[in-house]
Amino acid sequence: MHDARAGARRGSKESGPAGAALRQQPAPMMYKIPEVMVMLRMSRHAIYDQIHRGRLRIVKQGRATFVTTAAVRAYVELLEREAEVSAR
């Protein structure tokens, strides 16, 4: 009986290379504010402050607010440039 279950698992959609492809999720292109808070290790207030100052770009879909992957990268690059300037 154990062999039959093992065979069923092997033949399932989630085994082998095809199963690995099903388990892999594409990298998100947009993040909700709580996800950005975790990524940047910043508070909600700090994130919205940066948005209102125009330093962190957002996109809206209906009432939902998202930050794109490109916007997160651009914000981090801005911080890096500012750190270089202040170090001089």
C-alpha–C-alpha distance, residues 10 and 70, integer Å: 39
pLDDT tens digits, one per residue of 22-78: 678 899 999 999 999 999 999 999 999 999 999 999 999 999 999 999 999 999 999
**What values do phi and psi take at 38, rounded to 5?**
-70, -45
Confidence of residue 15 (pLDDT cuts 50, 70, 90): low
pLDDT value, residue 23: 78
The number of beta carbons lying within 10 Å of the beta carbon of residue 52 is: 9
